Amino acid sequence: MPAALPAPDANALQHSARLSALIGEEIGQSGGSIPFSRFMERCLYAPGLGYYSAGSTKFGAAGDFVTAPELGPLFAACVAEAVAPVLRQLGPDAEFVEIGGGSGAFAETALKRLLQLDAMPARYAILEPSADLRERQRERLARQLTPLVFDCIEWLDTPPATAWNGVLFANEVIDALPTPRFVLRDGEVFEECVAIDADGGFARVDRPADALLAAAVRHVERDLQRSFADDYRSELLPQLPYWVQAVIGGLRDGAMLFVDYGYPRGEFYLPERDAGTLRAFYRQHVHNDAYRWPGLQDLTASVDFTALAEAGTGAGFELAGYCSQASFLLGNGLAQRLQEVQARGDEALSLKFANEAKKLTLPTEMGERFQAMGFVRGVEFGAAFLEGDLTWRL
């Protein structure tokens, strides 16, 4: 249990207690335990109570974590630079679909930059499951964009089902997908589940895995050409291929771009990483007690980029590139954006942007931990993935 976390106030504790009671009821009705992935789903998305469904701050310095678009405009400007050639190739009907729009910071800069680049999509759709975040996005974008640009934004309840061409983008979304956890016992695959202990708190219990999870673990072992040792515990998203197919909906020609933190498979499942990659984020503190204060902290797991490559190609797309976030941003105009600010002669702004660029690119910050992976069908990314190719590591 982490010692030095700032204590939530009484209201927040009450909120968390309500969610805990709801999860406890479900555990009771499910014969004494639920899979960890269901526990994580409830913690993040239970209507009105889950971390992403209720109204706490979450993003930025006052929240629990800072994502790349929250640091400033550089990240989204570089993504816009990368996808502009794809949108232009697809012509005036091309659309842009953002999965998990957060505070709306990404959409704001991306749309402003795409307009400057003469690559405005016909529609900018945001697929956002959290009603609270949707409202925050709408309010911010209405304030920050001209009515003409704002009018091309649409919020989707479900992925676009009709045929569309364009770009699908997601930053830090796959790490937030409720993930199953597995553990090996006497060579057999077990699934981590959550039960209630004698004191009424949440406790971990392992149950024999179902066929889907067991097969997915064996697939990873075959691919790695080694077996997991007993007691090896980690995360795996057997549903990732289905999720990718679902979120692209009717996408015909276009590109998909995912940015997230993670590793190629060989590193994700290093023998010494035997407690997995699950992390909790609470007011800029990172720890690994997933049961602490349900609903008040974000829960995430790193992305297995080899699995993402399999899911993207399995959906009928070609892998266009995989590189670190630092290489991706540098390959898509980061230095030019910094030079533009310097040329304006505003020293304070130049310093602010230089600090932002450092956070985005330094290996000790987000530069290497975060990676970008792109897929294409019927179009080309142009120069977006020319820097620092890492596909050989997948």
Instruction: List residues near ligand SAM by CB under 6 A.
Output: 52, 59, 67, 69-70, 99-102, 106, 127-130, 133, 171-173, 176-177
Nearest distance in Å: CB 132, ligand SAM: 9
Burial class (CB in 10 A: 0-12, 13-18, 19+), 110: buried
Nearest distance in Å: CB 128, ligand SAM: 6
Q: Based on CB atoms, which residue is closest to ligand SAM, 180 or 269?
A: 180
Q: Based on CB atoms, which residue is closest to ligand SAM, 171 or 302?
A: 171
Which residue, among 172, 173, 189, 171, has the nearest Cα to 181 in the 3D structure?
A: 189
Structure tokens at 362: 């330094």
The residue with its CB nearest to ligand SAM is 100
**Residue 116: which residues within 8 A CB-CB, separation 6 or more?**
none
Nearest distance in Å: CB 249, ligand SAM: 12
Amino acid (one-letter) located at 382: G
Per-residue burial over 289-309, b = 16 or more CB atoms within 10 Å of its CB, e = otherwise = ebbbbbbbbbbbbbbbbbbbb
**Residue 6: which residues within 8 A CB-CB, separation 6 or more?**
282, 283, 285
Q: Based on CB atoms, which residue is closest to ligand SAM, 137 or 327?
A: 137
Nearest distance in Å: CB 65, ligand SAM: 7
Q: Based on CB atoms, which residue is closest to ligand SAM, 259 or 334?
A: 259
**Residue 152: which residues within 8 A CB-CB, separation 6 or more?**
111, 120, 121, 122, 123, 124
Which residue, among 223, 162, 163, 213, has the nearest Cα to 190 in the 3D structure?
A: 213
Q: Based on CB atoms, which residue is closest to ligand SAM, 33 or 325?
A: 325
Q: Based on CB atoms, which residue is closest to ligand SAM, 173 or 213?
A: 173
Nearest distance in Å: CB 242, ligand SAM: 11
Q: Based on CB atoms, which residue is closest to ligand SAM, 100 or 254?
A: 100
Nearest distance in Å: CB 104, ligand SAM: 9
Q: Would you say 126 and 153 are in contact if contact means Cβ atoms under 8 Å apart?
A: yes
Degrees (nearest 5) of the Cα angle 82, 107, 146?
Answer: 115
Nearest distance in Å: CB 77, ligand SAM: 14
